[in-house]
Amino acid sequence: MTAALPDIAAQLHPHAQPLDWVGMQGIALPIQLLGQTLAAKVDAGVSLDSPDVRGIHMSRLYLALELLSRRELSVPTLRTVLQQFLDEHAGMAQRAFIRLHGELLIRRPALVSQLSGWRAYPISLAAELGPIGLQLSLTLEVSYSSTCPCSAALARQLIQEQFAGDFAGKRLDHAAISDWLGSAEGIVATPHSQRSTATLQLQLNPTLEHLPIQALLDSAEAALGTALQTAVKRADEQAFALANGQNLMFCEDAARRLHNALENHPALQGFALTVVHAESLHAHDAVARSRWQRAS
């Protein structure tokens, strides 16, 4: 007869005390989302509230995560896994936690041509189940182009001055002016643009069935107007230049646009957002933050 294997975790510890979080992090797991499989990393844990228990059953957390690899990622599935964490640690834990992060690929069309390509969006989802119910937090990252309004105004002034100098005392001729505008001598200055990033930390409504990730990304990119492109032809690049020219924005403008797009969104209970414009003029970044919480 095989002897029972020792369970050291069940033994008492001379300095036993409750712990906020115990578990594993960086677990490799395939996650099903929007019809694709994400190579995700998952953190899983529970609170250790019983001072009479030395350790938790980490293998049970690991095995419970299998459900996430077999089903489409949804709020009910997350709730089921978290409840299993608690059931496996009855009398030991009052709160259960899951955090997963990976990159979601979404095919995006070009602005004008028939081309398209894949954009990678970093996402992070945190779920906690405890005495106050389910809490969900989704973090999304959106990259876009931002053209400085101040730089654009200064460039326009230089072009005006160049025009005044080149055509001083001359009879204005439509064809000559058109040729001048299309020349390097005419456009003597251009505004500076930079690749920029918005990080959206979103508190989701726990009554949701499905995670509205793509809808939230689409809403953010529509508000900004200058989402980064994938495959492009010259016509697409020209359309992108036009979009930048029509969407001049400081980091403050970008933050306000995103705030207005997300405020009172039915899927959200609150958010904190940060926009970073990686300056091409300065050696430092321009940053703006905003937050909102639904009134209870």
Q: List pLDDT tens digits, range 199-231.
A: 999 999 999 999 999 999 999 999 999 999 999
Average pLDDT across the chain, whole number: 93
**Are 163 and 222 within one domain?**
yes
Q: How many CB atoms lie within 10 A of CB 116?
A: 12
**Are 72 and 117 within one domain?**
no
**Are 135 and 195 within one domain?**
yes
CA-to-CA distance for 260 and 257, rounded, in angstroms?
5
pTM for the whole thing? 0.90
pLDDT value of residue 77 = 96
pLDDT value of residue 2 = 67
**Are 24 and 122 within one domain?**
no
Across the beta sheet with 286-293, what order do the strands follow?
19-33, 36-48, 96-109, 116-130, 133-147, 193-204, 268-277, 286-293
**Are 41 and 152 within one domain?**
no
Task: Identify the residue whose tokens are 């949804």.
Answer: 74
Crossing angle of helices 213-224 and 251-262, in 10° steps, is: 140
Whether 296 is covered by a domain: the verdict is: yes
pLDDT value of residue 50 = 86
CA-to-CA distance for 20 and 32, rounded, in angstroms?
29
Chain segment 62-88, per-residue pLDDT in tens: 999 999 999 999 999 999 999 999 999
Question: Are the C-beta atoms of 159 and 222 separated by less than 8 Å?
Answer: no
Chain segment 3-43, per-residue pLDDT in tens: 666 666 556 655 678 899 999 999 999 999 999 999 999 99
**Are 212 and 79 within one domain?**
no
Distances (CA, A) of 240 to 115, 207, 226, 229, 237: 14, 39, 7, 8, 5
Helices (H), the chain: 58-64, 66-70, 75-88, 149-166, 174-181, 213-224, 234-246, 251-262
Domain holding 64, by residue range, is 15-99
**Are 42 and 154 within one domain?**
no
Counting the structural domains of the chain, the total is 2
Q: Examine the fold and report which residue of 42, 74, 99 is the final residue of a domain before the chain moves on.
A: 99
DSSP for residue 242: H
pLDDT value of residue 9 = 58
Whether 268 is covered by a domain: the verdict is: yes
Whether 4 is covered by a domain: the verdict is: no
Question: Are the C-beta atoms of 43 and 99 separated by less than 8 Å?
Answer: yes
Characterize the bridge pairing of strands 116-130 and 193-204.
Answer: unpaired
Whether 177 is covered by a domain: the verdict is: no
**Are 63 and 133 within one domain?**
no
Q: How many CB atoms lie within 10 A of CB 171?
A: 6
pLDDT value at 112 more than 70 = yes
pLDDT value of residue 169 = 84
